[in-house]
Amino acid sequence: MAEISLPPPSSLGRNPIIRALRSVLLLRESWVGVVGVLIVLFWIVVALLAPVIAPFPPNQNLLPFKPPGTVAPDGGVFWLGTDQLGRDILSRVIWGARRVLIYAPLATACAYALGVTMGLLAGYKRGLWDDVLSRIGDIILSFPILVLYVVIITTFGPSGINIVLAVTCASAPGIMRIVRGLTLDLRNRDYVAAAQTRGESSLYIMFVEILPNARGPLIVDACLRLGYTIITIGVLGFLGLGLPPPDPDWGGMVNETRAMAAFAPWMTVFPCIAISSLVLGLNLLADGLREISLKD
Amino acid sequence: MAVELIPPRDTTTPILEIDKLSISYLTRAAEIPAVVDFSLTVRPGECVGLVGESGCGKSTVAMAIMRYLGRNGRIAGGSMKFRGRDLMTMSEEELRRIRGAEIAMVYQEPMAALNPALRIGDQLAEVPLCHEPGCTREQALARARDMLARVRLGDPDRVLQAYPHQISGGQQQRVVIAMALLSNPSLLLLDEPTTALDVTVEAGIVDLIAELGRTLGTAMLYISHNLGLIRETCDRVCVMYAGQAVEEGTIDQIFAAPRHPYTQGLFGCIPTPGRDKTARPLVPIRGQLPLPQNRPKGCWFGPRCDHFEAGRCDAGPVPMLPASETRGVRCLRWQEIEAQPPVPAPLEVMPAAVAAVAAVANDLPVLEVAAMRKHYPIYDSSVAALFGSDRTRYVRANEAISFEAKGGQTVAIVGESGCGKSTFARVLMGLETATDGTVSFRGTDIGRKPVQQRDAKLLSSLQMVFQNPNDTLNPSMTVGQQIGRVIRKFGVKKGRRDVEEEVLRLLDLVKLPRAFLDRKPRQLSGGQKQRVGIARAFAGAPAMVVADEPVSALDVSVQAAVTGLLVDIQRRSGTTLLFISHDLGVVRYLADRVVVMYLGQIMEQGTTDAVFQPPYHPYTEALLAAVPVADPTIEKKRIILEGPLPSPLDPPQGCPFNTRCPRKLGSICETEAPPERAGTDGHVIRCHIPLSDLEAVEPVLGRAG
């Protein structure tokens, strides 16, 4: 079959930033991806501009149990209503975006750092490394994930760092399995043999020769995993194991107000919408990335 | 076996008539014409060859005949008639009746063509059950059994019961051919049917196809990139270039006197017997196949043609010009260009060439291998083995390998897949360690020194060129980064400017444009990637380079260029080259010494001259006879090896070749290891047959006529 390839571009950007921007522009070709990017960007902008756009301070007690659209004493409007302590829901959702967009990416990044290293070691070194690391992963994965979170956080106490720690422990084995599988395939490529026969260290081969060529599936997985992590942080908040009050946290907001959901649904619904939309955006982005990677 | 009477067929109407066919593929960017103005007629009982390099559109033509182009393929013009019926206007329903029943196809990968979950018998029986209403399962199975016997499968009843993975690649391809023939088609399309097989297996399949053509009278369209194969199987041939047929005629016409410059160029690229790197080097076709959107105005071969005449060849589309009743040439100047018959080649290596080689080679051995052994343990962890005694078995990949290579020499290791030649390369490179024996490189034993324990000096002096062009370079790094890394690692140059200069020098050395510095591997063609691989291997001024099938994945014209380059660089730098290959043509062309391996053992070794002339080891003889030869002035002996290659897990006792040897003496071959029989100039044959008897054998290749 005739192999059709387009002529290479005459000048290639050596600058990695330009190249990264170019691959982001490729997303145009998938409308699903574009919608995903727009949703995620919306929440990033909201989080960045929280002090400017939030109408009220997030922890200030004003008028309790006010439905959406009530006019505040100072003339402002509670667009999404207030909660049982009289705090403005809109402001709390806006500030809550900040927290979730700090802790979720941080936790995912930590999980990736650990999972990728473990996966590369298991897949490239094989033998004892593989046996030990894979078994550790299996043991962690055999726990019901929620029990694992509860155990870790009740042991170390609820705090931002401990949430990151819990997510890292729980996600790393899954990432390790993906990376290990990719490495097992890539380690047999001739360019890896070429690197070995010029005396490169294992570390160089794992991180420079193998890892960059595994990036495609990993980027898609990272987007999905970031979504799961946001849900996880929400769930932990709901179980009362999340970030300590009174600072706003989407999962925590749902937890605090769920008893009143029957007669004051706005208190529960809006934080829920916030969580779902961000996760949806990330999943759409992952779908778009996958679609593009299949086309190439 | 009995030859059935062929049902009388209409012998006047052509089976297939293709007239001015054009096929396009729709891509995101544009509609790309893959095949343009293609005409071909196949008459009953005829075998027509379709030859060309990858991307020339030969498989597209086959798919178009089946009307099976896929979603993005479109027949843009022309007509196709199958036994007088118009294929273009047929409905899906009519096409389905024709496919498989009247037009059958055999693909390149037999394993991919068979369903791994079904027994062979069930798969074969499907064909009559599907195409002939009223056929019972018993009848279908009986027909399947007959057909298996007909494609010369030794034990048809066992094969009927087997799953595809339980039979060898050659047997699988025979099953696929049997499946294609079961419905008694009037046209058989063969798309590179032997490319995935070993030469000795290929010889058997080619022989079978030729015989089936004679006995069944099936018309065949044989697609291949190998001119030698086409010559041995076909009656007529059509040469394709960039989606056009450029020359068409009978085998005798084309092979005796190719007219089109591209056909002539192709013949200049193949190492026919009698060519050698010093006296009659290969002549690659310059330039590259133009991409469909960059095809020039006028003759598409123009930019690469030595006979190009501006103002005439680039004036407009060139039509197919009739050269005689049976022959067409798509060249405006065909009458002016001398028909270059391949010069009758001398079958002996010329003395001048021997002298030139001797001058380069010095007497110091760079590599001495003595009784090197490599066994891979296989641990059986089944419950049965737990209670039995042998939980560990050994794959005997290399068994008592002994040979040496002198400075500046080219030593070739030849053998079929699984003979252990790549294992030896891995041991030499330190990617594996030897089980026993010594591998002495410049006086130090490196057989048990893995690559991690080798110092930079040793690493840089022993480098490797890999087989698969798509695997040899890291896809995420630019060419400059990859070569630069080697230079820095071996300490050839330091400092950014110096390294970059050295990279540019190496790019010049392998004749690649300097602009390739910033290119990623996916922007290079296969041949260009192999050139980068060669540049990388020679960056540290190595004393020895191991090339593991460096050109076997490349097109013929590219092969010639890359082989020429490798030989040229090697000769200029005085590097010893260990060339691993299954292609005896290439080996004969460039090697000074040849080592023939079979099942992990060396069967014969000596100078190229000695190995390619009697006395031969029976295996070498069969190997030589199996290679298709494109030179019509050469006549070849016919030796077809029976039986499959034994497993290296359980090699035969005595001589490893005894199960397939056509000259087997008797029980001595099965019980005793063959002695080494020494000839002149280090020529060694391991065989029970005395040297004098082996010497009396007629040469495999002789002058025709």
pLDDT (tens digit per residue) in B511-533: 888 888 888 898 888 889 999 99
Whether the pLDDT of residue B293 is over 80: the answer is no
pLDDT of the residue at A243: 77
Q: State which residue of chain B sits closest to A215, comparing Cα positions.
A: B476
**In A, which residues are within 8 Å of B533 by CB distance?**
194
Nearest-CB residue to B57 (from A2, A191, A199): A2
Q: What distance in Å separates the CA atoms of residue B624 and residue A296, rounded to the nearest whole number?
A: 43
Nearest-CB residue to B486 (from A1, A189, A198): A198
pLDDT of the residue at B1: 40
Shortest alpha-carbon distance between residue B35 and chain A (Å): 9
What is the pLDDT tens value at each position of chain A, 296 positions in all?
333 333 344 344 456 677 677 766 777 778 888 899 999 999 999 999 988 888 888 888 888 877 887 787 777 788 888 888 888 889 999 998 988 899 999 999 999 999 999 999 999 999 899 999 999 999 998 988 888 888 888 888 888 888 899 999 989 999 999 999 999 999 999 999 999 999 899 999 999 999 999 988 898 899 899 999 998 888 888 888 877 777 788 888 888 888 888 888 888 899 899 999 999 999 998 888 887 776 65
Whether the pLDDT of residue B5 is over 70: the answer is no
Contact B536 A212 (CB under 8 A): no
pLDDT of the residue at B388: 65
Whether the pLDDT of residue B195 is over 90: the answer is no
Shortest alpha-carbon distance between residue B346 and chain A (Å): 38
Residue A98 near residue A278 (C-beta atoms within 8 A): no
Shortest alpha-carbon distance between residue B60 and chain A (Å): 6
Which residues are CB-contacts of A276 (< 8 A; sequence separation ≥ 6)?
none
Q: Which tops the pLDDT comparison, B546 or A77?
A: B546
Taking only residues 10 to 39 of chain A, the set having a beta carbon closer than 8 angstroms to any beta carbon of chain B reads 12, 14
Shortest alpha-carbon distance between residue B542 and chain A (Å): 12
Whether the pLDDT of residue B289 is over 90: the answer is no
ipTM of the complex: 0.81
Q: State which residue of chain B sits closest to A202, comparing Cα positions.
A: B452
pLDDT of the residue at A174: 93
Contact B27 A209 (CB under 8 A): no
Q: Token pair for residue B162? A: 């087997």
Q: State which residue of chain A sits closest to B490, comparing Cα positions.
A: A198
pLDDT of the residue at A61: 81
Label residue B492 by pLDDT band (50, 70, 90): confident
**In A, which residues are within 8 Å of B24 by CB distance?**
none
Whether the pLDDT of residue B363 is over 90: the answer is no
Contact A4 B292 (CB under 8 A): yes
**In A, which residues are within 8 Å of B291 by CB distance?**
4-5, 7
Shortest alpha-carbon distance between residue A175 and chain B (Å): 21
Best of B476, B516, B538, B555 to disrupt the A interface (most A CBs within 10 Å) is B476
Shortest alpha-carbon distance between residue A168 and chain B (Å): 28
Which residues are CB-contacts of A16 (< 8 A; sequence separation ≥ 6)?
none
Contact B60 A191 (CB under 8 A): no
Q: Which tops the pLDDT comparison, B703 or B43?
A: B43
Whether the pLDDT of residue B47 is over 50: the answer is yes
The string of pLDDT tens digits covering residues B96-112 is 888 888 899 898 888 88
Residue B309 near residue B224 (C-beta atoms within 8 A): no
Which residues are CB-contacts of B377 (< 8 A; sequence separation ≥ 6)?
B392, B393, B394
pTM of this structure: 0.83
| Cis ω for the linkage preceding A64 (within 30 of 0) | no
Buried b / exposed e across A189-209, counting CB within 10 Å, b at 16+?
Answer: bbbbbbbbbbbbeeeebbebb
Best of A28, A29, A125, A198 to disrupt the B interface (most B CBs within 10 Å) is A198
Q: State which residue of chain B sits closest to A189, comparing Cα positions.
A: B471
pLDDT average, residue stretch B571-582: 89
Taking only residues 199 to 258 of chain A, the set having a beta carbon closer than 8 angstroms to any beta carbon of chain B reads 199-200, 209, 212-213, 215
Which residues are CB-contacts of B466 (< 8 A; sequence separation ≥ 6)?
A190, A193, A194, B472, B533, B548, B550
Sign of CA pseudo-dihedral B83, B88, B90, B93: positive
Label residue B4 by pLDDT band (50, 70, 90): very low
Q: Which of B318, B334, B335, B323 is nearest to B253 (CA)?
A: B323
Q: Give the SS3 label for residue A17.
A: helix
Nearest-CB residue to B476 (from A6, A12, A213): A213
**In B, which residues are within 8 Å of A196 by CB distance?**
430-431, 451
Label residue B582 by pLDDT band (50, 70, 90): confident
Residue A162 near residue A152 (C-beta atoms within 8 A): yes
Nearest-CB residue to A189 (from B29, B463, B471): B471
pLDDT of the residue at A4: 36
pLDDT of the residue at B247: 92
Contact A196 B536 (CB under 8 A): no
**In A, which residues are within 8 Å of B456 by CB distance?**
199
- Plot region of B215 (φ>0 → left; ψ -120 to 50 → alpha; else → beta): alpha
**In A, which residues are within 8 Å of B519 by CB distance?**
8, 12
Q: What is the mean pLDDT of chain B?
A: 85
What is the DSSP annotation of B282-299? --PPPS-PPPGGGPPSS-
Q: State which residue of chain B sits closest to A4, comparing Cα positions.
A: B291
pLDDT of the residue at A2: 36
Three-class secondary structure assignment of B182-193? CCCCCEEEEECC
Q: Token pair for residue B571? A: 């000769």
Whether the pLDDT of residue B136 is over 60: the answer is yes
The string of pLDDT tens digits covering residues B415-468 is 888 788 888 999 999 999 999 999 999 888 998 999 989 988 899 999 999 988
Which residues are CB-contacts of B403 (< 8 A; sequence separation ≥ 6)?
B369, B411, B593, B595, B602, B605
At which residue do the structure tokens 């999972």 appear? A115
Q: Give the rounded distance of the alpha carbon of A150 from its chain centre.
A: 20
Q: State which residue of chain A sits closest to B293, comparing Cα positions.
A: A6
pLDDT of the residue at B467: 87
Q: Token pair for residue A59? A: 């922890």
Q: State which residue of chain A sits closest to B465, comparing Cα positions.
A: A194
Q: DSSP class of residue B328?
A: E
pLDDT of the residue at A296: 52
pLDDT of the residue at B344: 42
A294 lies within 8 A of chain B by CB? no
Contact B489 A199 (CB under 8 A): yes
Contact A199 B468 (CB under 8 A): no
pLDDT of the residue at B356: 46
Q: What distance in Å separates the CA atoms of residue A274 and residue A250, rounded to the nearest whole number?
A: 8
- Which of A119-128, B379-388, B636-645 shows the lowest per-residue confidence on average (mean pLDDT)? B379-388
**CA-to-CA dists, residue B561 to B240, B264, B270, B564, B583, angstroms:** 20, 15, 11, 5, 16
Shortest alpha-carbon distance between residue B471 and chain A (Å): 5
Nearest-CB residue to B476 (from A193, A200, A212): A212
Q: What distance in Å separates the CA atoms of residue B514 and residue A1, rounded to the nearest whole number?
A: 31
**In A, which residues are within 8 Å of B473 by CB distance?**
191
Q: What distance in Å separates the CA atoms of residue A130 and residue A155, rounded to the nearest whole number?
A: 29
Q: What distance in Å separates the CA atoms of residue B525 and residue A266, rounded to the nearest whole number?
A: 62
Shortest alpha-carbon distance between residue B280 and chain A (Å): 33
Please report the number of interchain residue pairs, chain A to chain B, with beta-carbon separation below 8 angstroms: 82
pLDDT average, residue stretch B295-311: 84
Buried b / exposed e across B188-212, counting CB within 10 Å, b at 16+?
Answer: bbbbbbbebbbbbbbbbbbbbbbeb
Contact B54 A193 (CB under 8 A): no
Best of A191, A209, A215, A292 to disrupt the B interface (most B CBs within 10 Å) is A191
Label residue B680 by pLDDT band (50, 70, 90): confident
Contact B489 A197 (CB under 8 A): no
Q: State which residue of chain A sits closest to B517, comparing Cα positions.
A: A12
Label residue B347 by pLDDT band (50, 70, 90): very low
- Which of A52-61, A226-235, B190-199, B378-387 shows the lowest per-residue confidence on average (mean pLDDT)? B378-387
Q: How far apart are the first and last CA of chain B?
A: 31
Shortest alpha-carbon distance between residue B459 and chain A (Å): 6
Q: Which of B571, B573, B544, B594 is nearest to B442 (CA)?
A: B544
The string of pLDDT tens digits covering residues A68-127 is 877 877 777 888 888 888 888 899 999 989 888 999 999 999 999 999 999 999 999 998
The string of pLDDT tens digits covering residues B200-230 is 888 888 888 888 888 888 899 999 988 888 9
**In A, which residues are within 8 Å of B476 by CB distance?**
212-213, 215
Taking only residues 168 to 197 of chain A, the set having a beta carbon closer than 8 angstroms to any beta carbon of chain B reads 189-191, 193-194, 196-197
Residue A241 near residue A149 (C-beta atoms within 8 A): yes
What is the DSSP annotation of B573-617? HT-EEEEEES-HHHHHHH-SEEEEEETTEEEEEEEHHHHTSSS--
Shortest alpha-carbon distance between residue A182 and chain B (Å): 15
